[in-house]
Chain A
Amino acid sequence: MHTTTVRFPRAFGPARKSFIRRNLPYLLIAPSVVMLLALIAYPLLFALRSSFYFWNLQIGPEPLQFVGFENYVQALNAFDFRAALTNTLILSILGTTLEFTFGLAIALILLKALPGMNIVRALLILPTTIAPIVVGFLFRYLYDPGGGLLSWLLQSLWLPVPAEGILGSPSTALAAILFVDIWQWTPFFAIVLYASLLAVPDEILEAARLDRASAWTILMRIKLPLIKRTAIIIVMLRFMQIFNTFDTVLVLTRGGPGTSTRTLGYSLYEQGLVNFNIGLVSAMTWITVLIVNVIVALYVFFAFRNEEW
């Protein structure tokens, strides 16, 4: 009918939709994307350009000389940088693994729904809420060789504590930093894994128990596969967070003694904000960004391959 076309003009296919209506979702996303691009493009391009120059703010305000890939060569050959890369990988891999394992163990205990355990669960999250820099101070106090609670506890238990203090000895400093990370983030894994395990349907577990499956089999074959997506995401997040750590190291050890607790994040801080070696730190930035991207890309490729969004 003639009147129908007049009354419902918009019902006639996408061709008649306005530009705004057609591109609505993209227009809604655009501001955030533009904002984020503006915020990250500058640092990345700035670092890319300056990585090819000899440029030290302590010597002069402007880049002094084009040096090609010299900064990259210098960074990769520096003993400091390679030590930092090793330490960072040790921290990230051990930290993520141990935090996941301990967190899972705690989550399984929390699942035994006893009166009062809710309070334990709620309070357990507290370490995760604290700023890393504050956690750094907290443990500096606990590790203090001249009367820190942890040092004292270890000595009282007849455990060997290095004379230079836990943070002062190359043999214990990295482990001490790892312990701080584990203290702060194990509760995070515990709470997240606890919550996702709660969502595992009871019928499945009942069926498995009727089949006389052991607790271990139920965990490995039923519970863990069902919370896989959650596990994938939190493991990735934590890995990258530890990989970029610098504030706890800054407060606890400043990378020392020697290079024993130097991390990539701390090296970037030191070369950039202490030595103002802009050219070198820019090369280090790009090396770090490339490493991070390769790790994340591989991980995402394998972990999210079969995921729906």
Chain B
Amino acid sequence: MSRRHTSFNTALTYAAGLLFLAIFVGPILWFIALAIRPAETAFTMPPQLAFEPNLDAFRHILVDPGTNAPQLVNSLIVAIGAVLLNLPFSVPAAYALSRFKLRGKKNIMLWYLGLLMAPPVAFLIPYFILITRIGLQGSYFSMILVLQTLTIPFSVWLMKSFIDEVPVELEEAARVDGARWYTIMLRITLPIVRPGIIVTSMFAFVFAWNNAAFPLVLSSRSTATLPIGTLGYFATSGVTWNYIAAAAVLAMIPPMIIFLVFDRYVVRGLTFGSVKG
């Protein structure tokens, strides 16, 4: 292969890379600009790239106490709560599925998987009625609770793939020394898979954070999360685009940071561990 041909290929690859960034990242940047640009320039075409940025929209979203519930705080409470409730259920299950020979293991794993395929919107009305009957409507806990239908199956799969990688020999050594199974699990295995627990938690956080379906029916005005906030600005009037964008940008940032920071685990998380990334 001639040298000229290779450099042509290199140039072509870089051109493709830039094209991908323009297509997949460009729109996000353009949307972020919407949040900080003067409202009257939002729809001027040809696009105005030079404008005086201001943070008024963010100020309105975050601190205007008259109309806005603290949606950022609500989103944090719900997402962190969902992670905390999730771990005690999913970590032991993942440990068992990874470490023991079980009859029907494949069926159990597929059952968890099947739950991820349920249509959440179909469950909204029953949840709404159930939560209202037990008097939890509008509470953080109601959202945290029903989010477990998504986060538990996902976390079990992902955690299992991390525990699978801890050498069994370590546990056997402890067993020979007379340690009981719970000592082994709590003192040996779980400390070793701490990075796995962190990654699993971060992904569960993102799932809960990005979910709009459950808060749509289960939140109240004072517990509404950020996605519901964006919907709110949309419903009241179609023209508050910079408020929508500001709330949306706040909602975008934490998952982006998490995915970029945990880059090397992203593939595994997105396929909940079925691919060793």
| Chain A contact residues, CB within 8 Å of chain B | 21, 24-26, 28-29, 31-33, 35-36, 39-40, 42-43, 46-47, 106, 109, 112, 114, 116-117, 120, 122-134, 137-139, 141-142, 144, 146-149, 152, 156, 183, 186-188, 191-192, 195-196, 199, 229-230, 233-234, 236-237, 240, 243-244, 246-247, 251, 264-265, 268-269, 272-273, 278, 281-282, 284-285, 288-289, 292-293, 296, 300, 304, 309
A142 touches B152 (CB 8 A): no
Given A43-B126, A130-B28, A147-B45, answer yes or no on A247-B119 (Cβ-Cβ < 8 Å): no
In the complex, are the beta carbons of A309 and B105 less than 8 A apart? yes
Question: Which stretch in B17-25, B58-66, B188-196 binds the other chain?
Answer: B17-25
Whether B123 lies near A129 (C-beta < 8 A) is: no
The CA of A233 and the CA of B270, in the complex, are separated in Å by 11
Which residue of A229, A247, A289, A300 contacts B122 across the interface (Cβ within 8 Å)?
A289
Contacts between chains A and B (CB distance < 8 A), count = 251
Q: Interface residues, chain B, CB within 8 Å of chain A?
A: 9-10, 13-14, 16-17, 20-21, 23-25, 27-28, 30-31, 34, 42-47, 88-90, 92-93, 95-97, 99-100, 102, 105-106, 108-110, 112, 114-127, 129-130, 145-146, 148-149, 152-153, 156, 181, 206, 209-213, 216-217, 227, 230-231, 234, 241, 244-245, 248, 251-252, 255-256, 258-260, 263, 266-267, 270-271, 274-277
Question: What would be 18 A-B contacts, judged by CB atoms less than 8 Å apart?
Answer: A29-B92, A32-B90, A33-B93, A33-B108, A39-B149, A46-B129, A122-B263, A129-B259, A134-B248, A141-B42, A146-B43, A195-B275, A196-B275, A237-B271, A243-B119, A264-B119, A285-B122, A288-B122
What residues of A have a CB within 8 angstroms of the CB of B117 in the complex? Answer: 236, 240, 244, 292, 296
Which residues of A sit under 8 angstroms from B277, Cβ to Cβ? 195
- Residue of A21, A152, A156, A246 ringed by the most chain B CB atoms within 10 A: A246
**In the bound complex, CA of A139 to CA of B30 (Å):** 11
Report chain A residues within 8 Å CB of B120: 244
A149 with B47: CB separation less than 8 A: yes
From the candidates A25, A146, A199, A229, name the one contacting B102 in the complex (CB within 8 A): A25
Whether the pair B252, A130 counts as a contact (CB closer than 8 A) is yes
**B96 lies within 8 A of A29 (CB):** yes
What's the dominant secondary structure at chain A's contact region? helix
Q: A35-B148, A40-B118, A289-B122 are in contact. Are A233 and B274 (CB under 8 A)?
A: yes
B99 and chain A: residue at smallest CB distance? A25
Contact A244 B93 (CB under 8 A): no
Q: Are A117 and B210 in touch, CB under 8 angstroms?
A: no
**Separation in Å of the A99 CB from the closest CB of chain B?**
12
The answer to whether B124 and A273 touch across the interface, beta carbons within 8 angstroms, is yes
The answer to whether B13 and A292 touch across the interface, beta carbons within 8 angstroms, is no
Residues of B close to A285: CB separation below 8 A: 119, 122
> Could you tell me the distance in whole angstroms from the C-beta of B158 to the nearest C-beta in chain A?
13
Whether the Cβ atoms of B146 and A39 lie closer than 8 Å is yes
Pick from B16, B106, B145, B260: contact of A39, CB below 8 A: B145
A133 touches B231 (CB 8 A): yes
- Give, as a whole number of angstroms, the nearest-CB distance from B155 to chain A: 9
Distance in angstroms between the alpha carbons of A6 and B144 in the assembled complex = 50
- CB neighbours (8 Å) of B13 from chain A are 109, 112, 114, 117
Residues B90 and A137 in contact, CB atoms below 8 Å apart: no
Other 11 A-B pairs with CB < 8 A, given A24-B181, A137-B31, A142-B31? A35-B148, A36-B149, A39-B148, A112-B9, A117-B17, A131-B251, A144-B43, A191-B267, A244-B120, A272-B121, A289-B119
The docked-state distance in angstroms from the alpha carbon of A236 to that of B117 is: 9
- Report chain B residues within 8 Å CB of A43: 122-123, 126-127, 130
* Residue of B24, B100, B122 contacting most chain A CB atoms (<10 Å): B122
Cβ-defined contact, B259 with A125, below 8 A: yes
**CA of A187 to CA of B116 in the docked complex: distance in angstroms?**
21
Please give, as numbers and ranges, the residues of chain A lying within 8 Å of B110 by CB-CB distance. Answer: 300, 304
Chain A residues with Cβ below 8 Å from B234 are 137, 251
State how many angstroms separate the Cβ of B30 from the closest Cβ of chain A.
6
In the complex, are the beta carbons of B27 and A183 less than 8 A apart?
yes
Min CB distance A185 to B, Å, is 10
Give the distance in Å from the alpha carbon of A144 to the alpha carbon of B43 in the complex. 8
The listed residue (A31, A42, A246) touching B126 by CB distance below 8 A is A42
Measured between beta carbons, the chain B residues less than 8 angstroms from A29 are 92-93, 96-97, 108
